[in-house]
Every structure is written in structure tokens, then in C-alpha cells.
Amino acid sequence: MKTIHTHAKHTEWLSADEMHFESKKWLSELEFYKEEQWFFEDLIRTYTLQILDHNHFDESKRLIDKLTKIVEQTQTLLKAVKSHEKQLSIMVDGIDQIKEETAYKKEHRNLTELVDELRKRYRTLKAKFFKFIKMIMKESKENHLIEKK
């Protein structure tokens, strides 16, 4: 995943509780994305024949490739956030570990950027994917009605 580093310093002022809350929010959001991605994969299986139609093949391949990348990135980010969450003890153990705490905050800033970036790309892909599936479903329904006549 490519990241555009904005060098935000807001994590310097976040407490351990705030970072914990933010990490939990990320986990929830990423788990939801994972469930949604299973739904998309199910839609793809349901409409495989229509998607493979020569009129839609290029666009469907492009969208499915992007979905595959997003699924992989979601999994990677989910693992990274879980690991980050487990390391929170560095911030709350009462021991001054300046290097470790600084590294934890830096990792938190990086994860903030990665989650925000994934969120933006995922929303864009989701909108395109739903629009595409809606078109496929509409065409399928029209073809079904034509065949009944």
C-alpha cells in the first residue's frame, strides 16, 4: 500500500485511551469492510455469467482486480491494527520508555494515514461496484422479461 505522508503530529497529543479508542474504531471498520467484501464476492459468484459477458468483461475485470487488491490490503491492515492494539501496553505500563512510546505514536500516525487512505479508495470502489452490479441486475431482469414474451 502506498501512503502519502502528511507528517501529522496530532498523535503527540493523543492519550493512550484515545489511541485505544481510535484503534478499536479501525478494527470495527475493517471487520465491516471484510464482511462487505464477502458480500461483493457473493454477488460476483451470483452474476458470474453476466459479468463474463463480452460487453462487460473489461470493466468487470478491472473492478474485480481492484476488489482483490482492496481485500488483501484490508487483511494486511487488519493484522497491523490488531498488532498495534496489542502493543498499547507500552503506553500505559507506567514505565518511561521514550523510544518505544515514540515508535508507537509514529506507528499510530502511519496507521491513521493508511486507514484513511484505504477508506477513501474503498468508498470509491464500492460506489463503482454497486453501480456496475446494479446495471448487470437491470440488464439481467430486462433479458429475463424479453425471454418470457
The pLDDT score that the predictor gives to residue 49 is 82
Q: What are 74-115's pLDDT values in tens digits?
A: 999 999 999 998 888 777 777 777 888 888 889 999 999 999
What percent of the chain stands above pLDDT 90? 48
Q: Which segments of the chain does DSSP mark as H helices, in order? A: 16-46, 48-52, 57-86, 89-92, 98-148
Mean pLDDT of all residues belonging to the chain: 85
Do 50 and 141 touch, CB atoms closer than 8 A? Answer: no
- Amino acid making up residue 125: L
User: Residue 75 and residue 102: Cα distance in Å, rounded?
Assistant: 26
The pLDDT score that the predictor gives to residue 126 is 94
**Average pLDDT of the residues in 9-35:** 85
Is the pLDDT assigned to residue 16 strictly greater than 90? Answer: no
Binned at pLDDT 50, 70 and 90, residue 2 comes out as: low
CA distances, 63 to each of 76, 127, 130 (Å)? 20, 11, 10
Q: What is the pTM of this model?
A: 0.79
C-alpha cell at 145: 422479461
The pLDDT score that the predictor gives to residue 1 is 53
Contacts of 11 (CB under 8 A, 6+ apart): 19, 105, 106, 108, 109, 112
The pLDDT score that the predictor gives to residue 110 is 94
Q: What are the residue boundaries of the structural domains of the chain, listed by start?
A: 13-148
